[in-house]
Structure 1
Amino acid sequence: MTTDDPIFTPRFSFQKPLRLLCASVLLLAAAPVLAQNADKAAAPAPDVAAPQDTASPAAPRSRADAAATATLAALLPRLAGNDTIPLMDRSAMFAGDLSRLLANYDVSQSAADRAEIAVNDGQVQSILKRAMGLLGTPYRWGGTSPDGFDCSGLVGYVFKTALGIELPRVSREMARDDAAALIKDRNALTAGDLVFFGRRGRVDHVGIYVGEGRFLHAPSRGKDVQIDTLASGYWSEKFVQARRVL
């Protein structure tokens, strides 16, 4: 039995430090997990953090808006020479923010088209303003001045003094002037168009369409420059065609 004593004692003293070492290793390995659990326990309750969650998308939304705005700023100058958005840029339309920014932008017309329309509108306004200023001017056969107008003299005076446009002297020649677009449908009339009247297709009178089914003209002797309707009555029946100068 004496031979067993030296063997038993060292064996017991060696295993105790080994168990302590293993416990220390396990404790070190578990430290990150314990720290993570401690952070979770210290975090605020979900109902307290909820207001922050609802406000947090503001930053991404602002960044999205900024990106969409930058894309739009780069895209719009390219529309100047095209009627529609270039094919390579159509993928951008899938972005909700870009679609929202483009909602009020008419991409069916190029910038050049819109500029032309703006100029045309300004010309029409100049014609109407000049023509309206002559209401009440007496009719005078062969007249071409504010002292008195005949029908073609009035129209020619308005276009020449308002825009510098020279028109043929008499209504019949104005109606034949191919430099102005021919319009046969009165429903297609726009302000500033020349409207012609006559009998059996022969033009003998002209006026300026002012919109809403009405036109301005110098009717005949004994009458002043006035506005009449195309919708019904004498002049409706005498309407032959129209020409668009602008």
Structure 2
Amino acid sequence: MSLTVRLPKFVKMVVSALTIVALFLFTQAPNASATINYGEEVSAVAKNYVDSQYKWGGTSPKGFDASGFTQYVYKNAATKMNIPRTSALQYKTGASVKQSELQSGDLVFYATGEKGKVSFVGIYNGDGTFTGVTMSGVKVVKMSDKYWKERYIGAKRIIE
């Protein structure tokens, strides 16, 4: 013989709802965490401006020069960093990095004018290229190209 208790639908709904609430309250959900690789993000932001125009002294998407570009990207990327205006002053910022240890977002420096004197900066992309402002605008450039290889001075990591 079986004993059956008949509950009204309303009571069944309340019991079901309380059971669901209890599950949410007394069970732990896995912690969601997201980290951002600031160097990769800086590199990605820089690439968004490929084909922007070159402008001597330019510091905005209307026209950039090399250091105006790096300054703009760092300020407008997730880093929100204020870096110096000129490539020579940017070269005095951060920690020196060996070329073999470059990471995305590192600044790479070149002597495009007077030999041995910093006059150009770009943002390393992590694949042997950098994004920088040439006379024909913002481009992704291979560091192994003869022109750039011969003029390389060094690199700095300004993201901690």
Q: Shared fold by TM > 0.5?
A: yes
Q: Which residue of structure 2 aligns with residue 175 of structure 1?
A: 91
After the TM superposition, which parts of structure 1 deviate over 4 Å for at least 4 consecutive aligned residues?
none
| Structure 1 residue runs without a partner (length 5+) | 1-114
Q: How many residues align?
A: 124
Deviations 1:188-208 (A, max 9, x none): 111110000015321000000
Q: Which residue of structure 1 aligns with residue 101 of structure 2?
A: 188
2:143 pairs with 1:143: no
| Structure 2 residue runs without a partner (length 5+) | 1-32
Between the two proteins, what is the percent identity of the paired residues?
A: 35
Q: Which residue of structure 1 aligns with residue 81 of structure 2?
A: 165
**In structure 2, what residue type is equivalent to 1:164?**
K
More helix by share: 1
More strand by share: 2
**In structure 1, what residue type is equivalent to 2:89?**
E
TM-score by length of 1: 0.48
Match of 2:134 among 203, 207, 219: 219
Q: Which residue of structure 1 aligns with residue 153 of structure 2?
A: 240
Deviations 1:133-178 (A, max 9, x none): 100100000111110000000000000011210000000000012x
Task: Give the Å deviation of 1:243.
Answer: 0.3
Q: How does 1:121-140 map to 2 (within 5 A)?
A: 121-140=36-55
**In structure 1, what residue type is equivalent to 2:109?**
F
Task: Give the Å deviation of 1:126.
Answer: 2.2
Provide the aligned C-alpha RMSD in A: 1.6
Q: Which has the higher contact order (CA 8 A, sep 6+)?
A: 2
2:125 pairs with 1:210: yes
Is residue 109–residue 121 contact of structure 2 (8 Å, CA) maintained in 1?
A: yes
Q: Give the distance between the partners of 2:104 and 2:128, measured in 1 at CA.
A: 10
Q: Which residue of structure 2 aligns with residue 110 of structure 1?
A: none
